[in-house]
Amino acid sequence: MFHSIQDSSAGCTCISELIFTLGLELSTILIKRHHIIHLSTESVSKYDNIMKISHHLC
């Protein structure tokens, strides 16, 4: 469920939740492929960068 774009704070919350959900799904896929240490660390780094960018947009 997405919030109205008119409320910028709700939009940012929605974007953050979406990114977080996608990050969890990516982590699950990586674990299933048994590349846990290297690729999970890489995905966390990418997630942190995305979160920094999304906070600047809000």
Tens-digit pLDDT profile for residues 2-58: 444 444 555 556 766 766 666 766 666 656 655 555 555 555 666 666 666 666 555
In a domain, 45, yes or no: yes
Q: 41 is in which domain, residue-wise? A: 9-57
Helix (H, G, I), strand (E, B) or coil at 5: coil
In a domain, 26, yes or no: yes
What secondary structure does DSSP assign to 5-58, as a single string? TTSHHHHHHHHHHHHHHHHHHHHHHHHHTT-HHHHHHHHHHHHHHHHHHHHHH-
In a domain, 4, yes or no: no
How many independent structural domains does the chain possess?
Answer: 1
In a domain, 40, yes or no: yes
Looking at beta carbons, which pairs linking 22-31 to residues 24 or more positions away fall under 8 Å?
23/47
Using a cut of 0.85, tell me whether the model's pTM lies above it: no
Confidence class for position 1, pLDDT limits 50, 70, 90: very low
pLDDT at residue number 17: 74
pLDDT at residue number 5: 46
